[in-house]
């Protein structure tokens, strides 16, 4: 049996039952694809279920506020995905009268949708012949054929696209795409592939040549930059202060305590000499009641070193217009970055 036939036969006999596989509704497939990017399947499944319960239709999602969507997304990271999802839902409602677009190009033009997601939705929901290529697919194709072109170069990507199109089942592209991805996720895994039970093991080049651990090839590495966050956890009677992050930085739209970012790690004694500190407290001497370092927070391109500094201020104190004064007990109503959420859970729950 050839690659495609073996794969589909295996998939039809043996695959995980996941909620988005029970449907061909493009809205649900789109939601699942966006939620599952860079997310473990168990965590992604919980979020997917919460999303479809809160927003059973595209119109429900489009009609929600951005804060509501971000709150539901909280903890999943890569918040631009949630904002793009919300933006695209509104766009579909306004431009397509709420009907999910049914051509590859129209799907690709939605905000936050790249070639992989567009191919997945087009093939699974509309049976259009587009090969979806994610990390799992690169791994399976690279090992099965022995192709060692780097998957993170333009040339390498082009070669893998040709290969993927070559193997694509033109009649059942949706099933085919799900089958390759499933094989990569559960059998041809990065560290310990289960070659013994793989439907492709009689003609897999990497298995034959003992090159499994070398494939796929990747040449680049993302350099992680360090950032140093000092959050001011202020108690002013029964209130605290927060603000919403803006601009093109991480966590746009999420809430956090007043933040002083420094270029290196500095002590609290140095921090209180910082200009931002004196601008913020302008003439007042806040009482520092303690501070806490939390574990380094890793994002794909950043390492964030964080300290929360606890401060007491008189009840009547107000910070500049930049900060919202909110009841401490209400803080969990706001969508906050995972890093802040962990701290809040330890401190208040």
195 scored as a contact of ligand SF4 (CB under 6 A): yes
319 scored as a contact of ligand SF4 (CB under 6 A): no
Q: Rank residues 29 and 131 by Cβ distance to ligand SF4 and give the closer one.
A: 131
State the DSSP string of 122-191: HHHHH--------HHHHHHHHHHH---S-TTSHHHHHHHHHHHHHH--SS-HHHHHHHHHHHHHHTS-SS
29 scored as a contact of ligand SF4 (CB under 6 A): no
The DSSP letter of residue 100 is P
Q: At closest approach, how far in Å is the CB of 290 from ligand SF4?
A: 52
Judged by CB under 6 A, which of 64, 113, 140, 309 binds ligand SF4?
Answer: 140
193 scored as a contact of ligand SF4 (CB under 6 A): yes
Which one of 3-11, 70-78, 137-145, 315-323 is the stretch in contact with ligand SF4 (CB under 6 A)?
A: 137-145
Judged by CB under 6 A, which of 72, 107, 113, 200 binds ligand SF4?
Answer: 200
Judged by CB under 6 A, which of 72, 207, 271, 313 binds ligand SF4?
Answer: 207
Q: At closest approach, how far in Å is the CB of 200 from ligand SF4?
A: 5
Judged by CB under 6 A, which of 212, 232, 304, 335 binds ligand SF4?
Answer: 212
Q: Rank residues 195 and 299 by Cβ distance to ligand SF4 and give the closer one.
A: 195
Q: Rank residues 2 and 249 by Cβ distance to ligand SF4 and give the closer one.
A: 2
State the DSSP string of 35-86: HHTTS-HHHHHHHHHHHHHH-SSHHHHHHS-HHHHHHHHTTS--THHHHHHH
Residue of 12, 22, 33, 265 marked catalytic? 33
Q: Rank residues 10 and 323 by Cβ distance to ligand SF4 and give the closer one.
A: 10
State the DSSP string of 261-307: EESS---HHHHTTSHHHHHHHTT--PEEEEEEEEEEEE-SSEEEEEE
Binding positions for ligand SF4, 169-188, rule CB under 6 A: 187-188
C-alpha span between 318 and 310 (Å, rounded): 16
Residue 130 CB partners (closer than 8 Å, separation 6+): 104, 118, 119, 122, 123, 168, 173
Pick from 218, 25, 213, 42: nearest CA to 124: 25
Q: At closest approach, how far in Å is the CB of 198 from ligand SF4?
A: 3
**Is 256 noted as a catalytic residue in this protein?**
no
Q: At closest approach, how far in Å is the CB of 329 from ligand SF4?
A: 52
Pick from 220, 132, 219: nearest CA to 184: 132
Q: At closest approach, how far in Å is the CB of 213 from ligand SF4?
A: 10
- C-alpha distances in Å from residue 310, one per residue of 237, 240, 278: 13, 11, 16
Which residue numbers are catalytic? Answer: 33
Residue numbers of the site for ligand SF4 (CB under 6 A)? 140, 143-144, 187-188, 193, 195, 198, 200-201, 204, 206-207, 212
């Amino acid at each position: 049996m050839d690659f495609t036939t073996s794969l589909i036969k295996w998939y039809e006999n043996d695959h995980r039952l996941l909620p988005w596989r029970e449907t061909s509704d493009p809205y649900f497939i789109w939601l699942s694809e966006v939620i599952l990017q860079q997310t473990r399947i168990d965590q992604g499944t919980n979020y997917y279920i919460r999303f479809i319960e809160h927003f059973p239709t595209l119109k429900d999602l489009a009609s929600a506020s951005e804060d509501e969507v971000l709150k539901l997304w909280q903890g999943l990271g890569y918040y631009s995905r949630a904002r793009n999802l919300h933006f695209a839902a509104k766009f579909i409602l306004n431009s397509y009268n709420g009907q999910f677009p049914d051509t590859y190009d129209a799907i690709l033009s939605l905000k936050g949708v790249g070639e992989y997601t567009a191919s997945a939705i087009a093939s699974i929901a509309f049976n259009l012949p587009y090969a979806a290529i994610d990390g799992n697919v690169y791994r399976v194709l690279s090992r099965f054929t022995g192709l060692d072109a780097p998957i993170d170069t333009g040339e390498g990507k082009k070669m893998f696209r040709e290969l993927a199109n070559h193997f694509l089942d033109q009649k059942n592209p949706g099933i085919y795409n799900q089958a390759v991805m499933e094989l990569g996720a559960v059998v041809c895994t990065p560290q310990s592939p289960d070659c013994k039970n793989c439907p492709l093991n009689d003609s897999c080049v990497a298995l034959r040549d003992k090159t499994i651990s070398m494939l796929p090839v990747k040449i680049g590495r993302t350099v992680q930059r360090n950032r140093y966050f000092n959050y001011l956890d202020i108690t002013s009677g029964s209130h605290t202060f927060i603000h919403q992050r803006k601009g093109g930085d991480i966590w746009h739209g999420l809430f956090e305590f007043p933040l002083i970012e420094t270029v290196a790690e500095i002590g609290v004694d140095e921090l209180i000499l910082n200009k931002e500190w004196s601008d913020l407290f302008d003439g007042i001497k806040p009482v520092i009641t303690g501070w806490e370092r939390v574990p380094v927070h890793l994002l794909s391109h950043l390492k964030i070193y964080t300290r929360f500094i606890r401060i007491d201020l008189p009840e009547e104190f107000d910070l500049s217009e930049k900060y919202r004064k909110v009841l401490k007990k209400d803080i969990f109503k706001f969508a906050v970055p995972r890093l802040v959420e962990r701290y809040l859970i330890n401190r208040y729950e």
